[in-house]
A and B are shown apart, each in its own frame.
Chain A
Amino acid sequence: MDVSQYLEIFLDETKEHLQNLNTRILELESDPENSDTINEIFRAAHSLKGMAGTMGYKRMQNLTHDMENVFSEVRNGTIKVMPEMIDVLFQCLDALEEYTDNIQSSADEGTNDNEPLIKKLNEILNGGSADNAEAGAPAQAEAAPKASSVEVGENKWDQVTLDSSQIAVIKAAQGEGKKVYGVNVVVQESCILKAARAFLVFKAVEELGEIIVSDPSAQDVEDEKFDRDFTLIVLSDADLDSVIKAAESVSEIEKATGAPLVLENNKSAAAEEGSEAGEAAADKPAEEKKPEAAAAKPAAVAAKPAAAAKPAAAAKPADNKKQAPGKPVVNRTVRVDIEKLDSLMNLVSELIIAKNSLVSASSQEQAASANNNSFNEQIEYLESVTTNLHESVMKVRMVPIESVVNKFPRMIRDLSKKLDKKMELYMTGEETELDRTVVDEIGDPLMHLLRNSADHGLESAEVRAQRGKPAVGSIFLDAYQDGNNVVIEVRDDGNGIDVEAVRNKAIERGTVTPEQAVNMTDKEIIDLLFLPSFSTAKQVTDVSGRGVGLDVVKSKIESLSGEVEVKSKLGEGSTWTIRLPLTLAIIQALMVVVGNEKYAISLGSIQTLEDIPPSDIKLVQNKEVINLRGMVIPLIRLNEVLDVKSNRSENDNLIVVIVKKGDKMAGFVIDELIGQQEIVIKSLGKYIKQCKFISGATILGDGEIALILDANALI
């Protein structure tokens, strides 16, 4: 069976299941008795096993199979959840992740059998179920929870109506010594694409033998015209167990039951018995091929939506249960290549520029003739359409940060064990949305900060006890939107930053002289932490302290046009605040004129605009400064920086844009203000990169290019 076309779906689903398992096992650790969690874990593990089996990843299947055995014993109550067991389970998840990564990179699961893990799992299994002789039998374990099972008639295959030719085939097969089974397959209630799953069952069973009869018919199954179960009569050389297992290996199959078929028990067969017993059955096999071919199409089509719809199913199984059975959920998501979105975005920017030109042309026209009302109306309409189009395209690029932060609880749990500190991670605002490109990049910096908090921030248990803090340290990860920015805060209730230690370290390292150090504010000292290779950890640990952390965090965030700052109080904890623009492609900017050239300055860094008479300019160390409401702010004459001649006379008042970078302020002297505008950032290309205070260019409404000044580089 060629499964390569399902590989992508397999990977997506596997990752979702693994994430789900990670989350649930964490829950299980804190609440070992929660049967809902255990059931959820069991289901996820079971689906994983089935999927791995279908795709032919035997090692992965073996490992999940053994994990599933453990979960099933836990569910049956024969094993208690022990901390060691959780550790082993997490190791298993890591191993599974490794398989998945291997599959993703090379379509092969690798050769690691993970024998030690499997052995550990079996030890858990044997240790816990010594008094239960039957434990460990997977077929039994896979039986669905009683609560959710529907009235599935046992021996349903005896109710199936057989026609005479089918009976003849069965008889002939039995005569040849082949085995004929009746199999009843029940699909999970939460299953969204029953037809697709059923198709996979058909495929799996057909690998072992021949499906003679399906009730409802293969056509009906394919059209989802069945409730939750369907019955197959299978001709096979394999034993019953393997047929049932094959059916159950498909994910979202609740259970499969079966028994050797006894014709005498079948009501229709019994009726026909005798009258047409001898009839030949030559045309049968040909007909049986049909379901496979016919079902293949919907399955391929249906498989994709299944992957997309899966998160909802995994997150809220309860919701799905409420949906009427047999009514497929309409697929509402589509996976799109980010490059396609980029090109769409470019086209929209183009459209906006074209629209802007049209608007300026029409306003000139209007001056000439007053008789173009309908023309103007259409222009206005076009304007509103393009604005909406632009917003929609921007929104398409936004994704919740959830996908990134979801892995952190598990990380903190592992760190907690490793560092032997008790800690808990509290997250809020996982649903906050950011541009896709930013979300992809933000994971590593956040991980650094969390590790930092766990390792350096939180004190050891003794110290915490002395200080009267709760034994369990808290780390918070909060994300929220703030205007055109998204703020992510990493906060801990640990020791905070020891400014004196940093100061001494800085002197010791020669970063600053002792004289400088004395004069530096606490804030300045803390900022030293962001310098490359500056680590205050007294010992280099496995977790952090190699001095490659914070400067990497800072440069990464800055490369995303964001900023990071830290507030800390010794003994009470620190807060790291990351501020990121909602999107990288479009910013709000102040358009200014210097000389006769137009420039854009990102509104994010601008504090105020000031009108300053020349007499207010003072000289300090031969540099121009102004005293603005008690603050001394250096002036930067942009015309000098940009090598153009100012078109204002010496005696005119100066227009000064006050910009801020961290605690530093500066005043940019410009010639004219144009106003605020939303601009699309374009790269200047590879040829022009020497100019470090130009961060890019943008195309204005008239098609002209304005350069974007990087205020941070100028201060």
Chain B
Amino acid sequence: MELSTNNSKLIPEDERQRSVETIQYIVIRLGEEQYGIDIRNIDTITRMQHITRVPKMPAYLKGVINLRGVVIPVMSMRLRMNLAEDEITKATRIIVLKLAEEGQVGFIVDEVKEVVSLSVDDIERIPDNKEGKANLINAVGKHNGELISLFDMSAISLEG
């Protein structure tokens, strides 16, 4: 229940009602940790491609890509989380989110693993923490005995 209130900015009222039972998350890997992104915010997942650098931008803002004719800014999720610089491998993907205010934004992640359905009972909310990466993560989900940190999409979209 608590999670659904957090997501209220991004999810329409009626949809929230329906999704009380389970929420689907895309599980991604950054380094050794697993993170979940609410599937409803995701527009596309593409393979890593050439990113055109834009000068005078913060380091985590990697540049822009061409996604089917639309120019989309791409940022590094690792740098955004204060982790080490990305290592581009075959598994590296760009997750394109569709945000209400900013439109499409891409995030570089190490790997996209799977889609999981978490029931509300398995999601535990983290109290607000003003420092570090905690402000991007607002909940933790339990799945098959592993923990998945869940992103607060409204926090990601606010900065940039």
Which of chain B's residues has its CB closest to A702's CB? Answer: B50
**Chain B residue at minimal CB-CB distance from A703:** B66
Once bound together, how far apart are the Cα atoms of A706 and B64, in whole Å? 9
Q: Residue A642 at the B interface, CB < 8 A?
A: yes
Q: Across the interface, name the chain B residue whose C-beta is closest to A699.
A: B66
A346-B69, A683-B71, A694-B54 known; A688-B103 Cβ under 8 A = no
Interchain nearest-CB distance for B98 vs A (Å): 12
Distance of A222 from chain B, by nearest CB (Å): 48
Q: How far is the CB of B50 from chain A (nearest CB, A)?
A: 6
- Best-buried of B64, B70, B101, B160 by chain A (most CB within 10 Å): B64
Residue on B nearest A641 in the bound complex, by CB: B55
**Number of chain A residues close to chain B: CB under 8 A:** 26
A690 interface residue (CB < 8 Å to B)? yes
Pairwise interchain contact B71-A350, C-beta atoms closer than 8 A: no
B50, B52, B56, B69: which contacts A643 (Cβ < 8 A)?
B56
A494 to B89, CA, bound (A): 71
CB pair B66–A643 under 8 Å, yes or no, is no
Q: A685 CA to B68 CA in the complex, in Å?
A: 15
Does A697 make an interface contact (CB < 8 A)?
A: yes
* Bound Cα distance from A691 to B54, whole angstroms: 8
A41, CB-defined interface residue at 8 Å: no
Q: Report B-chain residues with C-beta under 8 Å of the C-beta of A706.
A: 52
Q: How far is the CA of A709 from the CA of B115 in the complex (A)?
A: 42
What string of 1s and 0s marks CB contacts (under 8 Å) between B68-83 and chain A? 1111110000000000
- B105 contacts which chain A residues (CB < 8 A)? 687
Q: Which of A662-715 contact B (CB under 8 A)?
A: 682-688, 690-691, 694, 697, 699, 703-707
> Are B69 and A597 closer than 8 Å at their CB atoms?
no
Q: Which of A685, A690, A697, A707 meets B102, CB within 8 Å? A: A685
Q: How far is the CA of A705 from the CA of B68 in the complex (A)?
A: 12
Chain B residues 88 to 119 lying within 8 A of chain A, measured CB to CB, are 101-105
CA of A641 to CA of B54, assembled, Å:
12
CB distance from A613 to the nearest CB of B (A): 28
Contacts of B61 in A (CB 8 A): 687-688
* B57 sits at the interface (CB 8 A): yes
Chain A-chain B contacts (Cβ-Cβ < 8 Å), number:
66
Decide if A699 touches B55 in the complex (CB within 8 Å): no
Contact status A643-B55, CB under 8 Å = yes
B103 touches A686 (CB 8 A): yes
Name the CB-closest residue of A to B53.
A597
Residues of B within 8 A of A697 (CB): 52, 64, 71
Q: Does B37 contact A (CB under 8 A)?
A: no
A472 near B: Cβ within 8 Å?
no
In the complex, A704 Cα to B68 Cα: how many Å?
A: 11
With a cutoff of 8 Å between Cβ atoms, the chain A residues found around residue B69 in the complex are 346, 349-350, 353, 682, 699
Select B52's contact among A353, A597, A691, beta carbons within 8 Å.
A597
Q: How far is the CA of A524 from the CA of B88 in the complex (A)?
A: 53
Q: Is the CB of A686 within 8 A of B52?
A: no
Of the candidates B50, B54, B101, B103, the one having the most CB atoms from chain A within 10 angstroms of its own CB is B54
* Nearest-neighbor residue (CB-CB) of B102 within chain A: A686
Q: How far is the CA of A697 from the CA of B64 in the complex (A)?
A: 9
User: Are B73 and A691 in touch, CB under 8 angstroms?
Assistant: no
Evaluate contact between B56 and A685: CB separation under 8 angstroms. Answer: no
Complex Cα distance, B53 from A349, in Å, reads: 22
Interface residue from B55, B65, B68, B104 paired with A691 (Cβ < 8 Å)? B55
By the criterion CB–CB under 8 Å, are B64 and A691 in contact? no
A353 to B69, CA, bound (A): 9
Chain B hits for A642, CB < 8 A: 55
Q: Which residues of A contact B68 (CB under 8 A)?
A: 350
Contacts of A643 in B (CB 8 A): 55-56
Measured between beta carbons, the chain A residues less than 8 angstroms from B50 are 704
User: CB-CB < 8 A to A699: which residues of B?
Assistant: 66, 69, 71
Q: Once bound together, how far apart are the Cα atoms of A682 and B73, in whole Å?
A: 12
Q: Which residues of A are found within 8 Å of B73, using beta-carbon distances?
A: 684-685, 687-688
B65 to chain A, nearest CB (A): 7
Per the bound structure, the CA–CA distance linking A704 and B66 in Å amounts to 7
Which residues in A have their C-beta under 8 angstroms from that of B102? 685-687
Q: Are A688 and B52 in contact (CB under 8 A)?
A: no
- Whether B160 contacts A691 by the Cβ 8 Å rule is no
B69, B70, B102: which has the most chain A beta carbons within 10 Å? B69
B103 with A694: CB separation less than 8 A: no
- Nearest-Cβ distance from residue A701 to partner chain B, whole angstroms: 11
Rounded to whole angstroms, the CA-CA distance of A682 and B101 in the bound complex is 19
Q: Which residues of A contact B71 (CB under 8 A)?
A: 682-685, 697, 699, 705
Residues of B within 8 A of A353 (CB): 69
Give residues of chain A (3-40) contacting chain B, Cβ–Cβ below 8 Å.
Answer: none
Residues of chain B lying within 8 A (CB to CB) of residue A683: 71
A690 near B57 with CB under 8 A, answer: yes
Could you give, for residues 582-598 of chain A, a 1 whenever the CB lies within 8 Å of some chain B CB and a 0 otherwise?
A: 00000000000000010
Partner of B64, one of A350, A703, A705: A705
Residues of A within 8 A of B53 (CB): 597
Q: Contact check: which of B54, B56, B160 meets A684 at CB < 8 Å? A: B54
Give the distance to chain B from A299, nearest Cβ to Cβ, in Å: 42
B70 and A682 contacting across the interface, CB-CB below 8 Å: yes
Say yes or no: A690-B56 contact (C-beta < 8 A), given A685-B72, A685-B102.
Answer: yes
Bound: A705/B103 CA distance, A: 19
Bound CA–CA A27/B70 (angstroms)? 51
Cα A513 to Cα B70 with chains together (Å): 49
- Chain A residues contacting B52 (CB-CB under 8 Å) are 597, 697, 704-707
CB–CB B56/A691 < 8 A: yes
CA distance A704 to B55 in the complex (A): 16
Q: How far is the CA of A150 from the CA of B57 in the complex (A)?
A: 76
Chain A residue at minimum C-beta to C-beta distance from B72: A685
Report A117-137 CB contacts with B as 1/0, cut-off 8 Å.
000000000000000000000
In the bound assembly, the distance between CA atoms of A686 and B70 in angstroms comes to 13
- Tell me whether B66 and A688 are in contact (CB under 8 A): no
Which B residues are CB-close (under 8 A) to A349? 69
What is the bound-complex CA distance between A357 and B72, given in angstroms?
20
| Chain B CB within 10 Å, residue with most, of A644, A705, A707 | A705
Q: What's the minimum C-beta distance from B160 to chain A, rounded to whole angstroms?
A: 5
Please determine whether A688 and B55 come into contact, CB atoms closer than 8 angstroms: no
Q: How far apart are the CA atoms of A202 and B99 in the complex, in Å?
A: 55
**What separation, in Å, do the CA atoms of A349 and B71 have in the docked complex?**
13
CB distance from A599 to the nearest CB of B (A): 10
B residues near A346, Cβ cutoff 8 Å: 69
Cα(A597)–Cα(B101), bound, Å: 30
CB distance from A671 to the nearest CB of B (A): 15
Task: Indicate which residue in A685, A690, A691, A703 contacts B103 across the interface (CB closer than 8 Å).
Answer: A685
A394 to B130, CA, bound (A): 52
Say how far B116's CB is from chain A's closest CB, in angstroms: 29
11 contacts between A and B (CB under 8 A): A349-B69, A682-B70, A683-B71, A685-B102, A685-B103, A687-B61, A690-B57, A691-B56, A694-B54, A694-B55, A704-B52
Closest 7 CB pairs of A and B: A705-B52, A687-B73, A350-B69, A642-B55, A682-B71, A697-B71, A691-B56
What 16 new A-B contacts, CB under 8 Å, besides A641-B55, A643-B55, A707-B54? A350-B69, A597-B53, A684-B54, A684-B71, A685-B64, A685-B73, A686-B101, A687-B105, A688-B54, A688-B57, A690-B56, A694-B55, A699-B66, A699-B71, A705-B64, A705-B71
